[in-house]
Amino acid sequence: MAENRISLADQVAIVTGAGAGLGRGIAEAYGSLGASVVVVERDPERAENAAAWFEAQRFPHLICRVDVEDGDQVRRMVGEVDERFGRIDILVNNVGDFCGQTKPFARTDEDDWQILYEANFRHVLRVTHAALPLMQAGKRGGSIINISTIEAHRGIPNGAVYSAFNAAIGGFTRSLALELGRDGIRVNEIAPETSDTEQVQPRNWVAPEYQGHTKDWIPLGRFGTPRDAAGCAVFLASDLSSWVTGTTLHLDGGAQAAGGWYRVHETGRWTNMPVVSDAGIKM
């Protein structure tokens, strides 16, 4: 029975950027399903807030105030996990940020590229590289889940470098899945569309008079939530996906399938012409 297989009891899960947003949703879901959760978070207040939540629930956890852009801190974090739990079964590389950069590629410079590289891709390599020996030593298989973005799979104006580093996550995911298949370690990607988090607050970029229009451009009618991300991340961490590796879960309410198609708000009919001006993220 599928429901009997949704348990993460005896599993140790690292979630990066777990103090807020999608990572927090994922960490809470893993804790609720019995995993020991390692919350990796660089923001002290968010780390404390997560600690309070896990303590209140009495779920086993370890809070690591770590910046995944710092190699020494990441290696120390893995050492701490080893000491406390002796293994890693699940790794969610969730940290990622567009770093407020929305400008034409021609106006970017090498410093901009470096900032986006560090925030979106280099830490995925670093944390995975640091965690892998312990995952492999456990000889129990495992699951690595890399969070990218829908913008890795479609173009985004004035976000070419952000898009490129997130697309790199897909290449890394597929290739690593091949290398780790014989260890029983599965590697998959989740690519979310706009979701309501601390970083991206879609409710604030849609004017009140357009709030009802979300359903016109996202087929499932709303923005994503941390709970939606948690659902995908639970599936990919659990036995339910035991024959799934090297692939991407598109967590997007159907947005990518819709491509440039929208519904006309007043009639509900489909169009490929923009129907709402001056709403949404300003690029």
Ligand X SMILES: NC(=O)c1ccc[n+]([C@@H]2O[C@H](COP(=O)([O-])OP(=O)(O)OC[C@H]3O[C@@H](n4cnc5c(N)ncnc54)[C@H](O)[C@@H]3O)[C@@H](O)[C@H]2O)c1
**Contacting positions for ligand X (CB under 6 A):** 16-17, 19-23, 40-43, 46, 67-69, 94-97, 147, 149, 192, 194-195, 197-200
Beta-carbon neighbour count of residue 151 at 10 Å?
A: 19
Beta-carbon neighbour count of residue 157 at 10 Å?
A: 10
Q: For residue 36, which of 48, 27, 44, 46 has the smallest C-alpha distance?
A: 27
User: Can you tell me the distance from the alpha carbon of 137 to that of 116, in angstroms, rounded to the nearest whole number?
Assistant: 32
- Shortest reach from residue 82's CB to ligand X, in Å: 19
- Give me the torsion for CA of 110, 166, 159, 249, rounded to 10°: 180
User: Can you tell me the distance from the alpha carbon of 128 to that of 282, in angstroms, rounded to the nearest whole number?
Assistant: 34
User: Can you tell me the distance from the alpha carbon of 146 to that of 68, in angstroms, rounded to the nearest whole number?
Assistant: 14
CA-to-CA dists, residue 253 to 55, 86, 168, 205, 270, angstroms? 33, 38, 23, 19, 17
- Shortest reach from residue 4's CB to ligand X, in Å: 30
- Shortest reach from residue 39's CB to ligand X, in Å: 10
- Shortest reach from residue 140's CB to ligand X, in Å: 26
Task: Give the residue numbers marked as catalytic.
Answer: 162
